[in-house]
Amino acid sequence: MRKNRLRLPIQTNVIDAAYHSGARKLLFLGSSCIYPRLAPQPMPEDVLLTGALEPTNEWYAIAKIAGIKMCQAYRRQYGFKAISLMPTNLYGPGDNFDLESSHVLPALLRKCHEAKANQANQVMVWGTGQPRREFLHVDDLADAAVFLMKHYDDEDIVNVGVGEDISIRELAHLIASTVGFQGELKFDTSKPDGTPQKLLDVNRLFGLGWRPRISLLEGLRQTYRWYLEHETVLV
């Protein structure tokens, strides 16, 4: 909660300072969390503010929505060029692998690695495994960001994703295979699932001519290699 509490004044000051310092263009990064919990799938940009948010991250979502609206307001009032990108779930080298604060992909990667190293026979996965999520490699996000800074200039937000999703159960098995963990994956149904599905409609982005380059399997292998190289520093 502490990190989210600080996010709103930081982004407000950055947007305002960029305008007053004469920045030619600003890129604001939002999140797929801005969309309603039960938004139609895949989620187009125009479903923003059409329904209730996911209760477990509404504070973060509201902060991001405030940033989007501030960018739009500065464009309309001052002509300030600011674009807003909404990336899906991100992963890759340099991710947060702390089991107390990490997201699902790096958490499962570390759990499977440690289970393999300790010769454990099972790994516990939160929830039912049924929710579906979309994952974008951080290098693809960086590439999309540069592309849009060069080729896009409008107040309308732009989703950044890969256009396909995977269930948490399928993801867990894919990570276990990547790591080489051959034990059992058990699903703790007492833990929350969160939003049932989060798949972005990326027609606007793809229509501009951009496509992701890194498949999920390739990205997982790359991320695991990075983790192995930095494991002693991370734990």
| Helix spans in the chain (H) | 2-20, 58-78, 104-117, 138-151, 168-179, 203-207, 216-234
Distance CA 92, CA 111 (A): 16
Active-site hit among 19, 35, 60, 227: 60
Q: How far is CA 41 from the centre of its chain?
A: 16
Is 35 annotated in the active site? Answer: no
Cα–Cα–Cα angle for 105, 185, 231, nearest 5°?
45
Q: Helix count (H) and strand count (E) of the chain?
A: 7, 10
- Catalytic site residues? 60
